Structure 1
Amino acid sequence: MEEEFEFGFSEDPKFSVERYEEMIRNHDQYFFDAQAFENIIDYYIEKNDPPKALQVVEYARNQHPFAAVFLIKQAQLLVVTNRASEAFAALDKAAMLEASDPDIYVIRGNLYESMERYTEALENYEKALDMAEETDEVLLHIAYVHQNMGDYEQAIAYLKRCLEQNMENQDALYELAFCYDVLDNQEESVQFYMQYIDNEPYSYAAWYNLGNAYTKLGLFEKAIDAYDYAILIKDSFASAYFNKGNALVNLEKYAEAIEVYRQTFEYEQPNADTYCAIGECYEKLEQMDDARAFYKKSVKMDSKLADAWFGIGVTLDFEERYFEALHFYKKALDLDIANADYWFAIADAEYKLGRIAEAEEAYEKVVELNPLDVDAWLDYSSILYEQEKLIEAIEVMTQAIKNNPEAAELYYRMVAYLFAKGDYNEALNHLEMALASDPEKHYILFDYLPQLQKNKVIIDIINKYTR
């Protein structure tokens, strides 16, 4: 007959695990109390070994058939191993033994949520809410479901309730920022975090999210102050340094931004994005060798980072090395084919290399991808005008104006083309529109056709608007 040993909960969890493993090795049968089994299961969960944990659950259920806790643990592990129907069955059995355990409804809610059956998920979370002593995690789950359903207002209401239960819930703080972001409601976001900080002045996460909200509102000085508080409370907070660097870039304080970006390296491994950001700062300071060095470090760490390849191209373009620049622009484009800025740089480089047909094609791509880029329309039409393709240049301007009816520059350029073509009445119509839109920019016309400065009709019309 097999000998039975009994192990109780007084012992050290590590001891329970050793005894359990000994039992398995000896093909023996030891008896463990419920607490010891829980410790052993948790040990394997922490070691990220669900199959072993499930094996322990089987033993535990045989020895403690009326303990709902093991059915609940089993369900959790079945969820992790993608065995949903078995998990549902285990939860049903657990509910028959102990219907008031909130974990049953939380796990069932998770299952329904993962199946996108949101109504049933909410029903279960609401049940858990009635039974749980600490409700912040359940409220967070409910908020997630509302987010998945696209109801961000509801999600915000639950996230606020979650934070009322537990001010320390970091996930809720960040999710709240995300919801305000989706609703593009940064003012309310600022208001919330300010109130929150009044109660919790040492919450680095709240200061950080406040900084992000200010950044999105374009209030970069205030954002920097908020990031500084976050850093003061947690000096190893790399993301706060990085975002502070971005805010400094927006204020065109590039040298300061470089210093702040470099500080992130003290607290986390250097990464491709930070190297790329530093490269961009050096580029803005026109220190092209330094810029290129950092862009190269960036692509070495992440060869898929299109902006860094593009940055290398920009530094070469600045040095009038257009042929080399093109190579890097195209590498960036391969990674992000629909990026209008990359196409624009390619169009410009092709033009400078005298490859006019290629430049035309690239400009066509820019305005197709970003029809609001006024400069691209002007450059595109300019190439056509230089090749004496007047009708095409006018067509391009017509399209440009259709997409950007407020842009006076386009009307002035159109006037120049129409005069060149000899359509004087049409030209004068457009001149009136241009002057009505922005009389100060009339010099654009003379940049293109200086001879018009001697045209009395035109000067009279301009004087009417600029007096």
Structure 2
Amino acid sequence: MIKSLPHSRVGIQRIPLLLLLASLTLLASCSSSPSDLKTLQQQVWKNPKDAGAYMLLGNGYARSERYSEAAEAYKSALAINPKLDEANHALGAVAFNQKNYTESLKYFQKHLEHAPKDSLTLYDIGNAYMQLKEFDKAAKSYSEAIDNSESFTEAHYNLAICYLNTGQRAEAQSIYEWLLKKNNYLAVSLQKHFKKDTIR
């Protein structure tokens, strides 16, 4: 008979606590605290001509869901450096998060002018069109994103949703079968949309 050491039981009992602490640390790092934002603001005040500092400040505001302030910071970055294309994408994301989908399209399309094969931007454009219920335009954007990145499973999934909303069930079914091999979670979620489509 092997006796267990009392210390090993204590160690095992501490594992959930350690996991909880690690999770809290990770969550805390995802949002900007007021002191982090103050530090970023100070960087902007010290270097008012630094577009990168404005981008970091905008990102901090966006993480804190202070979208109006984030947009102002990104616009300031663009005023300093009009070729700072990531600011256009960031402005599109801020507008999208504020549910201003038409405005987000303007910025995403401006970003796309400089990076016409950017799959993520094409996907974001598709998402904006889907929110506007312009499913044909959304499907076109998702298809272009997939053309540039064949394994973009989320774009396939959203394209299938567009197909279901435009009566193209066979095309959606084809994507569903592809997703079964690639991402079971998305396939199961898509299956729920098929059931809703049948009820309509």
What TM-score do you get using the length of structure 2 for normalisation?
0.77
Q: Cα offset for 1:351?
A: 5.8
Structure 2 letter corresponding to 1:344: S
Match of 2:3 in 1: none
Alignment of 1:348 with 2:182, yes or no, is no
Q: Cα offset for 1:269?
A: 4.5
Structure 2 letter corresponding to 1:313: A
Match runs of 1:31-50 below 5 Å:
none
Give the Cα separation in 1 of the matches to 2:89 and 2:167. Answer: 32
From the superposition, tell whether residues 211 and 329 of structure 1 become closer, same or farther in structure 2 (CA, over 3 Å).
Answer: farther
Match of 1:251 in 2: 98
Q: Cα offset for 1:256?
A: 1.3
From the superposition, tell whether residues 346 and 186 of structure 1 become closer, same or farther in structure 2 (CA, over 3 Å).
Answer: farther
From the superposition, tell whether residues 295 and 348 of structure 1 become closer, same or farther in structure 2 (CA, over 3 Å).
Answer: closer
Give the Cα separation in 2 of the matches to 1:352 and 1:264. Answer: 34
1:75-108 Cα shifts (integer Å, max 9, x gaps): xxxxxxxxxxxxxxxxxxxxxxxxxxxxxxxxxx
From the superposition, tell whether residues 221 and 333 of structure 1 become closer, same or farther in structure 2 (CA, over 3 Å).
Answer: farther
Q: Cα offset for 1:278?
A: 0.7
From the superposition, tell whether residues 214 and 334 of structure 1 become closer, same or farther in structure 2 (CA, over 3 Å).
Answer: farther
Give the Cα separation in 2 of the matches to 1:205 and 1:231. Answer: 10
Give the Cα separation in 1 of the matches to 2:114 and 2:167. Answer: 38
Match of 2:143 in 1: 296
User: For 1:241, which of 78, 85, 88 is the aligned residue?
Assistant: 88
Q: Cα offset for 1:246?
A: 0.8
Q: Cα offset for 1:321?
A: 3.5
Alignment of 1:191 with 2:38, yes or no, is yes
User: For 1:312, which of 147, 152, 159 is the aligned residue?
Assistant: 159
Structure 1 letter corresponding to 2:193: D
1:187-234 Cα shifts (integer Å, max 9, x gaps): 332111101111111111111111111111111111111111111111
Asked if the contact 1:276–1:294 (Cα under 8 Å) also holds between the matched residues in 2, the reply is yes
Structure 1 letter corresponding to 2:190: A
Asked if the contact 2:143–2:159 (Cα under 8 Å) also holds between the matched residues in 1, the reply is yes
User: For 2:57, which of 200, 206, 210 is the aligned residue?
Assistant: 210
Give the Cα separation in 1 of the matches to 2:27 and 2:56. Answer: 11
Give the Cα separation in 2 of the matches to 1:215 and 1:276. Answer: 20
Name the stretch that deviates more: 224-233 or 257-266. Answer: 257-266
Asked if the contact 2:31–2:64 (Cα under 8 Å) also holds between the matched residues in 1, the reply is no
CA radius of gyration, larger in? 1
Asked if the contact 1:323–1:349 (Cα under 8 Å) also holds between the matched residues in 2, the reply is no
Structure 1 letter corresponding to 2:55: Y
From the superposition, tell whether residues 183 and 304 of structure 1 become closer, same or farther in structure 2 (CA, over 3 Å).
Answer: closer
Structure 2 letter corresponding to 1:241: N
- Give the share of equivalent positions with the same residue, in percent: 18
Match of 1:283 in 2: 130
RMSD: 2.6
1:332-368 Cα shifts (integer Å, max 9, x gaps): 45443344xx5223123146448xxxxxxxxxxxxxx
Asked if the contact 1:196–1:206 (Cα under 8 Å) also holds between the matched residues in 2, the reply is yes
SS in 2 for 1:218: coil
Which structure carries more relative contact order (alpha carbon 8 Å, separation 6+)?
2
User: For 1:326, which of 147, 165, 173 is the aligned residue?
Assistant: 173
Structure 2 letter corresponding to 1:298: A
Give the Cα separation in 1 of the matches to 2:47 and 2:83. Answer: 20
Asked if the contact 1:227–1:240 (Cα under 8 Å) also holds between the matched residues in 2, the reply is yes
Q: Cα offset for 1:180?
A: 10
Unaligned runs of 5+ in 1: 1-149, 154-178, 355-467
Asked if the contact 1:261–1:274 (Cα under 8 Å) also holds between the matched residues in 2, the reply is yes
Asked if the contact 2:30–2:63 (Cα under 8 Å) also holds between the matched residues in 1, the reply is no
Match runs of 1:226-237 below 5 Å:
226-237=73-84
Q: Cα offset for 1:286?
A: 1.3
From the superposition, tell whether residues 329 and 206 of structure 1 become closer, same or farther in structure 2 (CA, over 3 Å).
Answer: farther
Structure 1 letter corresponding to 2:97: N
From the superposition, tell whether residues 233 and 180 of structure 1 become closer, same or farther in structure 2 (CA, over 3 Å).
Answer: farther
Count how many residue pairs are aligned between Structure 1 and Structure 2: 176
Structure 2 letter corresponding to 1:197: V
Asked if the contact 1:279–1:290 (Cα under 8 Å) also holds between the matched residues in 2, the reply is yes
Give the Cα separation in 2 of the matches to 1:352 and 1:267. Answer: 38
Unaligned runs of 5+ in 2: 1-21
Give the Cα separation in 2 of the matches to 1:184 and 1:219. Answer: 11
Q: Cα offset for 1:272?
A: 0.8
From the superposition, tell whether residues 331 and 209 of structure 1 become closer, same or farther in structure 2 (CA, over 3 Å).
Answer: farther
Name the stretch that deviates more: 258-267 or 298-307. Answer: 258-267
